[in-house]
Structure 1
Amino acid sequence: MIRLFSTIPHVAIVLLSVSALALGACGDEEKGDAKKSANALTDFYYTSWKAPSADWEVRKVRPGKESDVTVEAKVVTKTLTKKIMERSRMEQMEIARMVCPDYTDKIWTKIEKKHSVGVVLSGSGGHIINALCKRP
């Protein structure tokens, strides 16, 4: 009887370790899927995206920590940055969403439905606002 109880903690540790590895593998798979979505969006921004004006740039598209993709965009002129900063936060979010692909764009078929696409908009003076793209 004593022998049985001395092995139970070891069995519990092994089971917990296996469970942790299995859960960690799930996160890696989602990260890989997010990377595929980020790569598809990168191709979109370099080949098909029409900037609202010459003052806009997409600097980087990267997979996020979980199942999301982040688009880093910048307004490069001080004049436009100032105009955006004078707007309300809601208006700034709508302005940031101008970076997002249109609802009708075929790129959405290449992005996993579980992935959110976020925009980090900065200007000549630094960070302006974060916004989420609206999916079709």
Structure 2
Amino acid sequence: MTRASKNTKPAAIELEEDLDDVMPELVEEEDVIVLSEDNNTISEDGEEEEEEEDLKLAPDSTVEVPKKKINEKINEEDYRKKEKAELLAVLDRCGKLGGPNFDADQERVLRELTKQKETIKRLLDEMRESKKRQKTYNIQTIFKRKQKSK
């Protein structure tokens, strides 16, 4: 498309016929909706609808409680029971740690953690050295390439 064709707009077409005459089955009459002031009900035909003012349950009627609320209460109780059981299990394990070999176990765990700390520190140092060597190698390689290109 050229620039001139983009800027041109099609001419407006005027219809002389009335749309009701062309397709009368598509034209619907509008319903009148009236809001009454005394009891706030809507009526499509303009007449007021009366609401029942007193809604009382008969003495022998039953009210259904939604099941969702009951399930939520059961789930909450189950959660509390599980939480309590887990807490009791943790306390039981703590009580076992306080036994006759507590000091020996504590020293053994401390030695193991110290070994792990030293291993991690050594690995980090090796990684840093490796990065330094790699950077040095990369810099030397770049420098050599620049020297060759001159």
TM over 0.5, yes or no? no
**Higher relative helix content:** 2
Structure exhibiting the larger radius of gyration computed from Cα positions: 2
Higher RCO structure (Cα 8 Å, ≥6 apart): 1
What TM-score, normalized by structure 1, do the two folds share? 0.31
